[in-house]
Amino acid sequence: MSITPTRTEALRAKAPAPTLAEMLDFARTTATDPELLARLPLDPGQRTWVRLAGPLGSEAWLIGWPPGSETGWHDHGGSSGAFVTADGELSELSLGLPIPTDGWRSLELEEGVDRQRSLPQGRGRSFGPHHVHQVINPSEERHAVSVHCYYPPLPRLRRYERSGDVLRLALVEIPEEW
Q: Using one digit for the tens of pLDDT, what is the confidence trace for 91-131?
A: 999 999 888 877 889 999 999 999 999 999 999 999 999 99
Task: Say if 5 falls within a structural domain.
Answer: no
pLDDT along the chain (178 residues), means of 10: 46 78 98 97 97 96 98 96 98 92 89 96 97 97 98 96 96 92
Task: Say if 166 falls within a structural domain.
Answer: no
Task: Say if 125 falls within a structural domain.
Answer: yes
Q: What share of the chain is helix, strand, coil (3-state, %, to 5)?
A: 15, 40, 45
Task: Say if 177 falls within a structural domain.
Answer: no
Task: Say if 137 falls within a structural domain.
Answer: yes
pLDDT tens-digit map of 166-177:
999 999 999 998
Q: How many domains is the chain built from?
A: 1
Check: CB of residue 137 under 8 Å from CB of residue 66: yes
Tell me the residue type at 64.
G
Task: Say if 56 falls within a structural domain.
Answer: yes
Task: Say if 84 falls within a structural domain.
Answer: yes
Could you list the beta-strand ranges (E) of the chain. Answer: 48-53, 59-65, 74-75, 80-87, 89-95, 106-108, 114-120, 124-127, 133-136, 144-151, 157-163, 166-173
Q: How many Å apart are CA 168 and CA 178, to the nearest integer?
A: 21
CATH of the domain at 81: 2.60.120.10
Provide the domain limits for residue 61: 16-156
Task: Say if 102 falls within a structural domain.
Answer: yes
Q: How many Å apart are CA 26 and CA 33, to the nearest integer?
A: 11
| Spatial CB neighbours of 50, under 8 Å, sequence gap ≥ 6 | 39, 40, 61, 62
